[in-house]
């Protein structure tokens, strides 16, 4: 450091550079566990591992599962086809480790089915409402979840309302009443708001709205069918209409594809 009066030199400062920490390979501390469920019930597998920057890939019977890259893997409503051995590969830049296999056993649900022709394979009967929504639409590039036929709501790109319902009686004596179905939503909407909707309503035998069990919209669009399960045990002892009601606005189209509707009571 200098000025017109002179200069001065500081004392020396030593710089020490330590090597970066070497990452450790992951170690699994909690393995996924075997599970036994009934069709329609939810399933959740989990793994706990130590290490930094961990990556996860779940597998079924040794094959990688799509969109299964978290520490937890869930199935919203198990079907018989979901049975098998599940494991997860945990990795980081230092290595990888595979979990033990967890066996999922899926038993067929027992009980009484209240919905008739829930897969629409026998046409629209005994469904009532907008029965023109029922058919084989494979020629349009839209496949049913199972079989050939389904219900297709919407897809108009203009203001529209459609509905399908069945009237059923839920016995007072049952302990559970589960409404299950598969739904695929395809949309041209780009807005981040729910413009087009499919509402699952419970109506009285005269058509009065008793409650809304669920609402789905263009915001839940997906490439494939998604399983849903709704508890209707609150309507035990009542004769009600299970009503699927679609409303579409005047903006871009949204299509709702419904299949395999079931209302099992036990």
Chain mean pLDDT for the chain: 94
Distance (Å) of CA 137 to CA 141, 142, 152, 249: 7, 6, 8, 23
Instruction: Look up the CATH number of domain 27-107.
Output: 2.60.40.10
pLDDT per residue as tens digits for the range 96-154: 999 999 999 999 878 899 999 999 999 999 999 999 899 999 999 999 999 999 999 99
DSSP 219: G
Q: Which residues belong to CATH 2.60.40.10 in the chain?
A: 27-107
pLDDT at 28: 98
- For the record, the structure tokens of 18 come out as 């330590």
Q: Which CATH class is domain 112-265?
A: mainly beta
Alpha-carbon distance of 45 to 58, in angstroms, equals 10
Long-range contacts of 65-72 (CB under 8 A, 24+ apart): 71/46, 71/47, 72/44, 72/45, 72/46, 72/47
Residues of the chain with CATH 2.60.120.260: 112-265
Contact assessment for residue 133 and residue 255, using Cβ atoms and an 8 Å cutoff: no
- Residue 31's contacts (CB-CB under 8 Å, 6 or more residues apart) are 47, 99, 100, 102
pTM, two decimal places: 0.69
What is the rounded distance in angstroms from the CA atom of residue 79 to the CA atom of residue 77? 7
| CA–CA separation, 103 and 116 (whole Å) | 33
Which pLDDT band holds residue 211 (cuts at 50, 70, 90)? very high
Tens of pLDDT, residue by residue over 91-111, are: 999 999 999 999 999 998 788
Cα 177 to Cα 179: distance, rounded to the nearest angstrom: 7
């Amino acid at each position: 450091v200098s000025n017109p009066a002179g200069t001065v030199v500081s004392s020396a400062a030593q710089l020490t550079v330590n090597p970066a920490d070497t990452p450790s390979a992951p170690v699994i501390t909690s393995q996924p566990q075997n599970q036994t469920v009934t069709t329609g019930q939810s399933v959740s597998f989990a793994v706990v591992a130590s290490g930094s920057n961990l990556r996860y890939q779940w597998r079924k019977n040794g094959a990688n599962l799509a969109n299964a890259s978290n520490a937890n893997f869930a199935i919203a409503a198990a079907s018989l086809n979901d049975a098998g051995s599940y494991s997860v590969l945990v990795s980081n830049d230092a290595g990888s480790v595979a979990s033990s296999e967890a066996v999922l056993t899926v038993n067929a649900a027992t009980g009484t089915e209240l919905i008739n022709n829930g897969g629409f394979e026998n046409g629209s009967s005994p469904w009532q409402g907008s029965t023109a929504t029922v058919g084989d639409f494979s020629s349009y590039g839209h496949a049913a979840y199972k079989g050939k036929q389904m219900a297709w709501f919407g897809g108009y790109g203009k203001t529209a309302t459609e509905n399908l319902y069945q009237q059923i009686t839920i016995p007072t004596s049952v302990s559970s009443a589960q409404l299950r179905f598969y739904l695929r939503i395809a949309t041209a909407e780009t807005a981040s708001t729910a413009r087009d909707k499919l509402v699952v309503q419970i109506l009285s035998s005269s058509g009065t709205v008793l409650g809304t069990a669920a609402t789905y919209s263009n915001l839940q669009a997906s490439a494939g069918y998604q399983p849903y399960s709704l508890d209707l045990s609150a309507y035990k002892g009542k004769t009600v209409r299970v009503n699927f009601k679609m409303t579409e606005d005047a903006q871009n189209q949204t299509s709702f594809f419904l299949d395999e509707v079931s209302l099992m009571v036990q």
